[in-house]
Amino acid sequence: MRTQVGIVGGGPAGIVLSHLLHLQGIESVVLEDRSRDYVEKRIRAGVLEQGTVDLLIESGVGDRMKKEGMVHHGIELRFGGQGHRIPLSDLAGGRAITIYGQHEVVKDLIRARLDAGGEIVFEAEDVSVHDLESQRPTIRFRKDGEDQELTCDVIAGCDGFHGVCRPSIPDGVLTVYERKYPFAWLGILVEAPPSSEELIYSYHEHGFALHSMRSPELTRLYIQCDPDEDIGDWSDERIWKELHTRFATEDDWTLNEGPILETGKGITPMRSFLVEPMQYGRLFLAGDAAHVVTPTGAKGMNLAIADVRVLVRALGEFYESGRTDLLDRYSETCLRRVWFAQRFSWWMTSMLHRFDGDNDFQHRLQLTELDYVTSSRVAATTLAENYVGLPMDF
């Protein structure tokens, strides 16, 4: 088999890349180790930056998102039993966020690719990448028991944090930056209408909690917990008790309860991670394969799509004129935005979580930070500008 761009991974990065390349007349094949059903139901992120929304609409895959996505113009920061609204759009020149599940984005893109005759190989086994320094890198995999080889001009490693592409880069090439946090998020998906029209980020002595949503009928809730906790130790009763405590206000706000769905229930450790450079020979890493941000800033999927946008532009130049300037600068171009997102996600995480062995000084500093962000227009503007997403050409 032969293609121009071999894409490992059919998550948001891989599938958006394949779609945008197709619009430029560039061929690709996506190799995904899971089934179509699995990737279309995998509950993860749900906050789309303005730039992500614009890109999906401009590239012709935004129709369902425009109908079903929920546009939000603010978020709430809650602490000391009181809510404080950050009017994102007022502060960030009218830009907003859209709530639309990552799996819905993936579903729309898979359909668009298949309708356009695109090739996505689901349940590709034992995927491995080779000859990365050559002009003809290859991807080997097994499908339906048969070994296959795909020869490409370029390989895009869009296979997430646990994928095979990043570890295939020889030792000593990558510099790894990493921070592990002493906490995780326990996430649940609840069959109940959201209890607020906007997201609520709550800081409480017991730890952080987030109220989000996926649709008018589905609420997504998270609580900070220890990273090595067993989800089995968290009964529904215990989860609800903790949520009610952490969201409690002095007014009559109430949290809607409902059945907790098994899908979407899990514990995700908090980590910041990135590698430099994001490329080696003819292999280009995009999305979680190259970097992981803490989800507090809602940047993971948006950043994956921002990488892909840079890669598409570089590949467009490469196929049009044979020039490799933009490809050579791919990593450098992406990393500036990645570091901005790392900084913002780290800042939100530090402000909103209880740290192990917290002392009162740390606690009071965090409350002061929250007080400042919610009372100073300048401070709130820096939050808003980052939350809705820095412009692509920032």
Ligand X SMILES: Cc1cc2nc3c(=O)[nH]c(=O)nc-3n(C[C@H](O)[C@H](O)[C@H](O)COP(=O)(O)OP(=O)(O)OC[C@H]3O[C@@H](n4cnc5c(N)ncnc54)[C@H](O)[C@@H]3O)c2cc1C
Angle of CA points 51, 56, 58, to nearest 5°: 90
Catalytic residue, chosen from 12, 137, 194, 295, is: 295
Q: Are strands 28-31 and 5-8 parallel, antiparallel or unpaired?
A: parallel
**CA atoms of 333 and 310, how far apart (whole Å):** 8
Whether 203 sits among the annotated catalytic residues: the reply is no
Among 188, 221, 301, 388, binds ligand X (CB under 6 A): 301
Pick 32 or 242: Cβ nearer ligand X: 32
Output the 3-class SS for 148-175: EEEECCEEEECCCCCCCCHHHCCCCCCE
Tell the smallest beta-carbon distance from residue 8 to ligand X (Å): 5
**CA atoms of 381 and 374, how far apart (whole Å):** 10
Among 19, 44, 113, 309, binds ligand X (CB under 6 A): 44
- Compute how many other C-beta atoms are within 10 angstroms of the C-beta atom of residue 150: 23
- Our finding on whether 380 is near ligand X (CB under 6 A) is no
* Window 149 to 168, contacts with ligand X (CB under 6 A): 158-160, 163-164
Pick 90 or 385: Cβ nearer ligand X: 385
Tell the smallest beta-carbon distance from residue 321 to ligand X (Å): 28
Pick 188 or 373: Cβ nearer ligand X: 188
Catalytic residue, chosen from 299, 319, 330, 353, is: 299
Strand order in the sheet with 119-121: 119-121, 28-31, 5-8, 154-157, 283-285, 279-280
Whether 72 sits among the annotated catalytic residues: the reply is yes
Angle of CA points 260, 263, 268, to nearest 5°: 95
Whether 387 sits among the annotated catalytic residues: the reply is yes
Pick 92 or 221: Cβ nearer ligand X: 221
- Single out the residue of 297, 303, 300 nearest to residue 382, CA to CA: 297
**CA atoms of 33 and 162, how far apart (whole Å):** 12
Q: Are 27 and 7 in contact (CB under 8 A)?
A: no
- Our finding on whether 127 is near ligand X (CB under 6 A) is yes
Catalytic residue, chosen from 72, 204, 291, 353, is: 72
* Window 79 to 108, contacts with ligand X (CB under 6 A): 102
Whether 372 sits among the annotated catalytic residues: the reply is no
Q: Are 259 and 190 in contact (CB under 8 A)?
A: yes
Pick 82 or 128: Cβ nearer ligand X: 128
Among 169, 199, 298, 373, binds ligand X (CB under 6 A): 298
- Our finding on whether 39 is near ligand X (CB under 6 A) is yes
- Our finding on whether 11 is near ligand X (CB under 6 A) is yes
Q: Are 331 and 276 in contact (CB under 8 A)?
A: yes
Tokens 């215990």 sit on residue: 238
Positions touching ligand X (CB under 6 A) are 8-14, 31-34, 39, 44-45, 47, 102, 124, 127, 158-160, 163-164, 268, 287-288, 295, 298, 300-301, 304
Active-site residues: which are they?
A: 72, 201, 295, 299, 387
